[in-house]
Structure 1
Amino acid sequence: MSKHSPSLAALPAPAQAALARAGSRLRAHRLQRGWTVADMAERLLCSPTTWRALEAGKAGTSIGLLAHALWLFGEIDSLDTVAPAPMGLAANRRVRRKAGSTAPGVIDENERDF
Structure 2
Amino acid sequence: MAARNQLLMSPPHAVEIALRRLGTDLRTARTRRNLTVAEVAEKIGTGPRVILDAEKGKPSSSAAAYVALLWVYGLLDQMDTVADPTHDERGRSLALAREKKRPRQRKGLSDDF
Name the TM-score, length of structure 2 as normaliser.
0.67
Q: Structure 1 residue runs of 4+, over 6 Å off? A: none
CA contact (8 A) 2:7 2:59 kept: no
- Structure having the larger proportion of residues in helix: 2
Task: Identify the residue that residue 38 of structure 1 maps to in structure 2.
Answer: 38
| Distance in structure 2 (CA, Å) of the matches to 1:70 and 1:44 | 11
CA contact (8 A) 2:22 2:55 kept: yes
Task: Identify the residue that residue 51 of structure 1 maps to in structure 2.
Answer: 51
Task: Identify the residue that residue 27 of structure 1 maps to in structure 2.
Answer: 27
For residues 1-114 of structure 1, the aligned pairs below 5 Å read 5-82=5-82, 85=85, 86-87=88-89, 89=92
| Distance in structure 1 (CA, Å) of the matches to 2:50 and 2:60 | 10
Alignment RMSD: 2.2
| Distance in structure 2 (CA, Å) of the matches to 1:66 and 1:33 | 17
Task: Identify the residue that residue 101 of structure 1 maps to in structure 2.
Answer: none
- Which has the larger Rg? 2
CA contact (8 A) 2:50 2:65 kept: no
- Figure out how many residues of one structure are paired with residues of the other and give that number: 88
| Distance in structure 1 (CA, Å) of the matches to 2:56 and 2:10 | 18
Name the TM-score, length of structure 1 as normaliser.
0.67
Question: Which consecutive unaligned segments of at least 5 residues does structure 2 have?
Answer: 97-113
